[in-house]
Amino acid sequence: MGMRRALWANARRGQVRCEAVNSETKGSEPVSAAGVGAAGVTQAGAQAETQARTEVEHRTRRRRTLTWGAVPVAVLAVALSIDHIPFTDVSLAVPYAAEGPGPTFNTLGEVNGTPVVDVEGAPTEETAGNLNMTTVSVRTNMTLAQALGRWLGAGDTIVPLEQVVPPHTSEEEVREANQQAFVASEASATVAAMNYLGRPTNVVVHDTVDGSAADGVVHSGDVITRVNDAEVSEPGQVRDAVRALSPGDKLTVSVARDGAEEELTVRLGESPEDPSVPQLGILMTSAPADDISVTYNLQDIGGPSAGMMFSLAVIDKLTPGPLNGGAFVAGTGTIDESGAVGPIGGIVHKIEASKNDGAELFLAPAGNCGEASSVDAGEMTVARVATLDDAIRAMEDFNAGREVDTCQAEG
């Protein structure tokens, strides 16, 4: 019995021994392997061999299953990553866009050795700390795998593509529109800053629309001084004068051109979007009326949301003492010529980027406070601002240790 136990024990471990194993049994004479043990060894060995063969076959089947099982996974991975059907122009991009935190820029600093906001023609003051403008990174033309990766891996927000690229509009047209909005925001930022500082401004023609009433009559670089005998100093005043008329009406525009004053007469056309709306067909910017010039040196950025931060940078450079008290301030928001701050998109990602940058105070448009209040801003204070004055007051209160008007959760 003892011999059988030893043999079975070794057989279960997959080891088949060839030598005899002596054992003693109570009440019996010693038994040799040549007696009853021979049959036991044969039986145990056969079962051990069978079990070993079964285990080998099982491992082989498992390897085969794993190998063949990996094939569809690999094929699926390749299929999800390609953006076109092979040998065709058929796109496999999903109709979604990914939005995430974009780069931030200190409007008081430099990019590639060039000031982000360059003020010339007047003495400028020393600045300190940060007045960071924020952006949102938008990705389109993604495969399903890429969209899932941005959502699960990077934590981006996945939105329908039509929210980023409207129907019947190309991405190139969207980029051009965003660039125009960025240029317009620079002009508004300059005017808002000059108005805050009590400095006069001029209306400058940036370009004309091909085929419009102004095409060939008004020139790029013209300074508009009067419209229908009313003095103008802001683009908004020109727009209001045009909107008060109808398509086909005549408009008198006085401009300063090459050091001389000229009076131009144009007949207003129709807006392509609405034939009942009059169109002059000029793109306007603003410039200080004195010798001050403001240049914004950021490339490949679109949209109007940097307006408020640009205004603050101009004001900071033209007033003594750091406007931000030397603190790390970030923010976003459109700005109009009167200094009103408007809502923007992507506030969640802009707050996230600013928190990660180490900002102490974030200036958020009042119109975005509902969404902004739901974001984990960490130790960063998120201030509610509706005007340029509000933004400056928030920085003053923050640096003085006073209570800041912050974005509160709705409800």
314 & 391 share domain:
yes
Is 213:250 a contact under the CB 8 Å cutoff? no
Same domain? For 297 and 270 the reply is: no
Could you say which DSSP state residue 37 is in? I
Per-residue pLDDT of the chain (411 residues), as tens digits, is 444 333 333 333 333 223 333 333 333 333 333 333 333 444 555 555 556 555 645 555 555 544 445 445 444 445 455 555 565 665 668 888 888 899 999 999 999 999 999 999 999 999 999 999 999 988 888 888 888 888 887 778 888 888 888 888 888 888 888 888 888 889 889 989 999 999 999 999 989 999 999 999 999 999 999 999 999 988 889 999 999 999 999 999 999 999 999 999 999 999 988 999 999 999 888 788 888 999 999 988 888 999 999 999 999 999 999 999 999 999 999 999 899 999 999 999 999 999 999 999 999 999 999 999 999 999 999 999 999 999 999 999 999 999 999 998 654
Same-domain pairing of 123 and 272: no
Looking at the structure, tell me whether residues 184 and 324 fall in a common domain: yes
Residue 187 and residue 325 share a domain: yes
Report yes or no on 71 lying in a domain.
Answer: yes
Could you list the active site residues? 305, 350
**Do 131 and 362 form a contact (C-beta atoms < 8 A)?**
no
Count, residues in the chain: 411
Angle at 148 between CA 146 and CA 150, to 5 degrees: 70
For residues 242 and 272, state if they share a domain.
Answer: yes
Strands 381-385 and 361-365 turn out to be parallel
pLDDT for res 58: 56
List of E strands, 219-356: 223-227, 230-231, 250-257, 260-267, 269-270, 278-279, 282-288, 293-296, 328-331, 334-335, 341-342
> Which CATH number characterizes residue 219's domain?
2.30.42.10
Q: Would residue 284 count as lying in a domain?
A: yes
Domain final residue, candidates 254, 289, 324: 289
**Same domain assignment for residues 325 and 267:** no
Of 249, 264, 289, the domain-final residue: 289
What's the total number of domains in the chain?
3
Query: Do 180 and 311 share a structural domain?
Result: yes
Range of the domain at 269: 200-289
Co-location of 298 and 391 in the same domain: yes
Same domain, 238 and 328: no
